[in-house]
């Protein structure tokens, strides 16, 4: 959901270490299973939804190299808008094995914009889907551990048939789960929300009983950090230095 950092509510990817910093051997996943890497709406969201990915796991992308490729992009915004202009990596063998070497979010799209827009993209990330949590204070704890700044993005992943994201304007609406006067409503299932001003922002579900069960998020947005200009040390003039030197020879008062 800065430098823009993108903070996500989506499928899981965790850090996994062996002893002495050696990575444990991970699982191997064929992306899309029998469908492979192709253009199908929501195929990869559904495929990744219930999987838990770890550092050391490998993803196999199988596809026709004459019509597609696998482009790894850096952030949620490039992923959401199918922007392949500054890729992190490009794979085009038709049988690519990509190992997850670090924790966090990983984004894969087709560089063919029309194919990406119609569903040929995959995200594996670092938290939970936007859904009713097992512990009612899950989202409170999630946000308390993070610092949000103007320019950060929140990417909400969820099933748009059963859920949505509403922005409300006050602490009272947030506490009472009052969705009658939302500031904004999002319901695509993959909502990218940019934090544009400092202050407190509130997000809830409008679906009956879900907000009350803990499906709500409050974030404190801090101003953009700006480094203060370094104060230049004023150099004294030769005349100032001369008077300072003379001052050393002034007689001191006797007590």
* CATH at residue 88: 2.60.40.420
Percentage of residues of the chain with pLDDT beyond 90: 44
Same domain membership, residue 147 and residue 117: no
Cα distances (Å, whole numbers) of residue 212 to 1, 116, 117, 158, 216: 22, 36, 35, 18, 8
In a domain, 23, yes or no: yes
In a domain, 130, yes or no: no
Same domain membership, residue 149 and residue 114: no
Same domain membership, residue 119 and residue 19: yes
Alpha-carbon dihedral 137, 141, 142, 148, rounded to 10 degrees = 120
The span from the CA of 35 to the CA of 63, in Å, is 9
Same domain membership, residue 153 and residue 117: no
Same domain membership, residue 100 and residue 149: no
* Residue 230: per-residue pLDDT: 59
Same domain membership, residue 119 and residue 148: no
The span from the CA of 219 to the CA of 202, in Å, is 7
Same domain membership, residue 159 and residue 53: no
The span from the CA of 29 to the CA of 97, in Å, is 9
In a domain, 204, yes or no: yes
Q: What is the mean pLDDT of residues 242-249?
A: 58
In a domain, 153, yes or no: yes
Same domain membership, residue 118 and residue 30: yes
Number of domains in the chain: 2
Whole-number mean pLDDT of the chain?
80
In a domain, 177, yes or no: yes
In a domain, 26, yes or no: yes
User: Would the pLDDT of 167 be above 90?
Assistant: yes
Rounded to the nearest angstrom, the gap between the alpha carbon of residue 244 and the centroid of all alpha carbons in its chain is: 58
pLDDT in tens, 147-156: 889 988 888 8
* Residue 240: per-residue pLDDT: 64
Same domain membership, residue 110 and residue 23: yes
In a domain, 46, yes or no: yes
* Residue 105: per-residue pLDDT: 82
Same domain membership, residue 119 and residue 152: no
* Residue 183: per-residue pLDDT: 96
Same domain membership, residue 117 and residue 75: yes
Beta-strand ranges (E) seen in 63-158 are 70-73, 89-91, 95-99, 106-109, 121-124, 148-149, 153-157
User: Would the pLDDT of 255 be above 80?
Assistant: no
The span from the CA of 64 to the CA of 69, in Å, is 8
Same domain membership, residue 44 and residue 79: yes
Cα dihedral sign, 137-138-139-144: positive
Higher pLDDT, 157 or 182: 182
In terms of residue numbers, what domain contains 160? 138-222
* Residue 10: per-residue pLDDT: 39
In a domain, 145, yes or no: yes
* Residue 27: per-residue pLDDT: 84
């Amino acid at each position: 959901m800065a430098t823009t950092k993108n903070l996500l509510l989506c499928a899981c990817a965790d850090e996994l270490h062996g002893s002495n910093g050696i990575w444990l051997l991970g699982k191997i996943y064929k992306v899309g299973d029998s469908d492979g890497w192709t253009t199908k709406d929501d195929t990869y969201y559904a495929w990744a939804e219930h999987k838990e990915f770890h550092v050391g796991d490998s993803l196999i992308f199988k596809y026709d190299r004459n019509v597609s490729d696998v482009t790894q992009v850096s952030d949620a915004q490039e992923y959401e808008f199918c922007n392949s202009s500054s890729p992190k990596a490009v794979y085009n063998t038709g049988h690519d094995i990509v190992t997850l070497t670090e924790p966090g979010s990983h984004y894969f799209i087709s560089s063919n914009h029309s194919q990406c827009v119609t569903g040929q993209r995959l995200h594996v990330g670092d938290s939970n889907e936007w859904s009713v949590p097992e512990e009612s204070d899950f989202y409170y704890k999630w946000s308390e551990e993070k610092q949000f700044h103007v320019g950060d993005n929140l990417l909400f992943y969820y099933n748009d048939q059963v859920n949505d994201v509403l922005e409300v304007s006050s602490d009272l609406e947030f506490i009472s789960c009052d969705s009658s006067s939302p500031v904004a409503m999002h319901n695509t299932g993959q909502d990218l929300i940019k934090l544009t001003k400092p202050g407190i922002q509130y997000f809830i579900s409008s679906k009956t009983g879900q907000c009350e069960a803990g499906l709500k998020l409050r974030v404190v947005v801090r101003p953009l950090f700006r480094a203060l200009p370094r104060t230049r040390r004023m150099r004294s003039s030769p005349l100032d230095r001369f008077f300072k030197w003379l001052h050393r020879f002034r007689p001191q008062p006797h007590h």
